[in-house]
Amino acid sequence: MYAIMGVTGHVGGAAARELLRRGEPVRAVVRDPAKGADWAAAGARVAVADFGHRETLAEALRGCAGAFVLLPTDVAAADPDAAHRAMADTIAGAVRESQVPHVVVLSSIGADLADGTGPIRWLHHLENALRAAGTQVTAVRSGHFQEKVELLLGAVLDAGLYPVFAESADVPTPMIATRDIGGVVADLLRTPAHASEVVDLDGPIYTERQVAEELSAVLGRPLQVVTIARPGWAAAMVDGGLPPQLAEELVGLYDAEQRGILQLRGDRHLTGRTELPETLRHLAKSISTI
Ligand SMILES: NC(=O)c1ccc[n+]([C@@H]2O[C@H](COP(=O)([O-])OP(=O)(O)OC[C@H]3O[C@@H](n4cnc5c(N)ncnc54)[C@H](OP(=O)(O)O)[C@@H]3O)[C@@H](O)[C@H]2O)c1
């Protein structure tokens, strides 16, 4: 049995679907029992647990051969640094208490660095807390998700703008589809290495301008690319609805990216193959059904 946290999200959902497709037993961990019904219908066992509650989370992981864990962003946290470190500690505490022997953690490129990376430093903290929990840890350090365009959809749909938080929209950047990450997670759960390891993961390469062009094509409407220089980043994110503290954290992340300190430094490297247009077509379909 494999426990999948964040099963109603991108990567957890993709991992669980892939495991079920291969006939593997899945325990789908949800915080809202109503969201478990579809997973039960798909053949999964369902466990209800919040990532902020160690005992119920430990119960959800207990008895499993492996677990997928992630650190979701708590947009509402008044103190994002304290809140995400606390959630990471709770997850690691649940892993320790459950004695699950192998954990695949969704981490990020740059998580080898302790600081200066914005929210990625919480993933550094989570990776280390899991290693200290006495289980075998496979850290999947992903680059940009192709689905990150979802965060820009407000500006895209309301104003026909595609904002780019960088000096240039023409920097080639690897971007991976979350379905590919889920596939890798499923593989790693089924066939773990002999010891803890770090797996770097990236995908096909695009510039932000190419992303805007592909998005414009699937939505069937023109989009204007607008680059936002560093002094305007925080204000633009707050205008887009993010709380100021979280906006400052993301400024730290984009800064780290511009300084080139986010590099692949894992034990091995895998590349997803799904191309961006396919991901965007799925996204456009989900918009049209809203
Ligand atoms: N975006 C990128 O480019 C990028 C790059 C590298 C790494 N990452 C990592 O990927 C993570 C996001 O992964 P994703 O896109 O698969 O996530 P996602 O789609 O945002 O889904 C988050 C999942 O976590 C669940 N969740 C949130 N808070 C919870 C809580 N307190 N208790 C129980 N469940 C909770 C959500 O459940 P509900 O359905 O109930 O809300 C949902 O299933 C980021 O946080 C970051 O660590 C992102």
Q: Report pLDDT digits (tens) over 162-202.
A: 999 999 999 999 999 999 999 999 999 999 999 999 999 99
Tell me which residue has its CA closest to atom 47 in ligand 1: 71
Q: Report pLDDT digits (tens) over 220-239.
A: 999 999 999 999 999 999 99
Q: For ligand 1, what atom is nearest to the CA of residue 181?
A: 16
Q: For residues 55 and 75, is the Cβ–Cβ distance under 8 A?
A: no
What pLDDT is stored for residue 255 in this prediction?
95
Query: What value does the mean pLDDT take over residues 255-283?
Result: 96
Tell me which residue has its CA closest to atom 22 in ligand 1: 9
Query: What value does the mean pLDDT take over residues 16-30?
Result: 98
Q: For ligand 1, what atom is nearest to the CA of residue 31?
A: 33
- Ligand 1 center to 222 CA (angstroms): 30
Instruction: In whole angstroms, give the CA distance from residue 135 to residue 177.
Output: 28
What's the predicted TM-score (pTM) here? 0.97
What pLDDT is stored for residue 154 in this prediction?
84
Q: For ligand 1, what atom is nearest to the CA of residue 107?
A: 7
Cα–Cα distance list, 82 to 169, 254, 262 (Å)? 33, 21, 23
Q: Report pLDDT digits (tens) over 238-258.
A: 998 999 999 999 999 999 999
What pLDDT is stored for residue 282 in this prediction?
92
Q: Which CATH architecture has domain 2-288?
A: 3-Layer(aba) Sandwich (3.40)
Which of 10, 26, 104, 127 to mutate for ligand 1's pocket (most ligand atoms within 8 Å of CB)?
10
Handedness of CA 256, 259, 260, 263 (dihedral sign): negative
- Ligand 1 center to 9 CA (angstroms): 6
Reading the block at residue 211, the tokens are 């992303």
Asked whether 203 lines ligand 1 (CB < 6 A), one says no
- Ligand 1 center to 74 CA (angstroms): 9
- Ligand 1 center to 13 CA (angstroms): 10
pLDDT confidence tier of residue 121, bands split at 50, 70 and 90: very high
Query: What value does the mean pLDDT take over residues 117-128?
Result: 98
In three-state secondary structure terms, 71 is coil
Q: Show me where the domains of the chain are located.
A: 2-288
Alpha carbon 25 to chain centroid, angstroms? 23
What pLDDT is stored for residue 284 in this prediction?
87
Which of 29, 35, 108 to mutate for ligand 1's pocket (most ligand atoms within 8 Å of CB)?
108
What pLDDT is stored for residue 289 in this prediction?
60
Tell me which residue has its CA closest to atom 19 in ligand 1: 9
pLDDT confidence tier of residue 55, bands split at 50, 70 and 90: very high
Average pLDDT, the chain: 96
pLDDT confidence tier of residue 155, bands split at 50, 70 and 90: confident
